Every structure is written in C-alpha cells, then in structure tokens.
Amino acid sequence: SQKIEQNSEALNIQEGKTATLTCNYTNYSPAYLQWYRQDPGRGPVFLLLIRENEKEKRKERLKVTFDTTLKQSLFHITASQPADSATYLCALADQTGANNLFFGTGTRLTVIP
Amino acid sequence: EAGVAQSPRYKIIEKRQSVAFWCNPISGHATLYWYQQILGQGPKLLIQFQNNGVVDDSQLPKDRFSAERLKGVDSTLKIQPAKLEDSAVYLCASSRSGGHNNEQFFGPGTRLTVL
C-alpha cells in the first residue's frame, strides 16, 4: 500500500540548533515533493518544492534534500527560532497523476527558547 | 494579492443534517482543490477542478459529498447527510494551473463538528 511517513509526531529542539525532519514514502513515484508549514487554526503554507532530479534545494534558513533511492526527503531549519514552531507537512505529487498532492501526517516542531 | 477565502470558519451540526462550505480562490487561479483534514492527519484530497471541470474526484464519497464550481471561480462543497466521521477541517486551495510544480495556496479552512 502507499504510505508517506514523517519521522515523528513531535520534535523539540533548543533555539539556535538545526531541526531535521524526515519524510519517507512507499509505493509512490514522485515527480516532485513539497514541504508546507501549518500553524494551529490555519491552512498549510508552501515553503519549498524539490523535483525528482534535484538533490538539494535551499531558501534562507531552510534546506530540503531528496533521495529517490532511499525514498526519503529531509527538511532542515538552521539557526531555529521559537517562531519556527509549527507543524511541518511533506507532500508529494505522483508522476502518474495531475497536480494532486498526497500529504504526510506532519511533524509538530517546538523550538524552546 | 488576496488569499483564498472560505466560509463559514466553524460549523456544528447534528448527524444526518446537511451542510455546505464556500470557497473563493485567488483571482486568476484556474485550479481549485478541496481537502479533508482529520485531526492529527495530513490533508486528503477530495476533489480537484480545472476551471469548472472536474479533474479528479476519486476520493470523494459521492453518496454523500458533492461539489461544484460554477463559472470556474467560486466553489461549494456539500455534505448530505453528515456522519460523525465527517468531523474534520475542510480546506480549499487554489493554484495557477493544474500542472506539476504548481504551488498550492490554502484557505484557513472550515472546522466541521458533527454531533
């Protein structure tokens, strides 16, 4: 069966450290993978997109890697701040479909001052 | 630019009642999506429209859920009759087109509670 798993439900880290979130998928052939941030009571907000033929993407303090052999994406937030506390969702678009996104269950990140 | 608008923000109904949600996408966005997000889970696509045509409704429970996008702009999602397991946040999203690589913009969602 198809699955998208994010490493843990919750992750607590100290301010200033690097947060690393994991997204593993099974039985998908992603054309690309996206990461979203979701705050309580709000809809997800797009952060980064990485295509199947890209290894790494960066945007300010964010970095995403994509390993199609391991079927895994890693999402890093460097120099984390309390304002980074939120739930982070990975989502992938399968090559066989249109722009339909399949979402993981999310990881709730808390950055402790 | 204005974001995706949804209403109402909250709705509480009894099981077997009907409910409708409204979405106004970002101006000029051809593609509109409805997602269901159950507490503790990621959003699950219910239906995707390209302009006013349905692209994918394979995960829409068609015996009770319906959606339309008249004139290719606003959309409504209806549940009739509602069940307890329909309690969730219903998210509307839009994108410029339906092709790959398109960022989706989400509205704030409608939180539905079925008692």
pLDDT, tens only, A49-103: 999 899 999 999 999 999 999 999 999 999 999 999 999 999 998 776 666 789 9
The pLDDT, as a whole number, for residue A49 is 93
Average pLDDT, chain B: 93
**Chain B residues touching residue A41 (CB < 8 angstroms):** 108-109
Residue A35 pLDDT level (bands cut at 50, 70, 90)? very high
Element of type H or E holding B32: strand B31-37
Is residue B98 over pLDDT 80?
Answer: no
Among all residues of chain A, which has the CA nearest to that of B111?
Answer: A41
Q: How far is A67 from chain B (nearest CA, A)?
A: 18
Residues of A in Cβ contact (< 8 Å) with B90: none
Residue A96's pLDDT is 67
Please state, rounded to an integer, the average pLDDT across all residues of chain A: 92
pLDDT in tens, B18-70: 999 999 999 999 999 999 999 989 999 999 999 889 988 999 999 999 999 98
Q: CB distance A44–B106 less than 8 Å?
A: yes
Q: Report the pLDDT averaged over residues A22-40.
A: 93
Contact status of B99 with chain A (Cβ, < 8 Å): yes
Q: Give the model's pLDDT for residue A93.
A: 87
Q: Residue B97's pLDDT band (boundaries 50, 70, 90)?
A: confident
Is A100 in Cβ contact with B45 (below 8 Å)? yes
Inform me whether the C-beta atom of residue B100 falls under 8 Å from chain A C-beta atoms. yes
Interface check B93 vs A, CB under 8 A: yes
Give how far Cα A35 sits from Cα of A21, A55, A82, A92, B71, Å.
Answer: 10, 15, 19, 9, 31
Task: Assess contact for B93 and B110: CB atoms under 8 A.
Answer: no
- d(Cα B104, Cα B15) in Å, to the nearest integer? 32
Reference A102, options A41, A44, A30, A45; nearest CA is A30
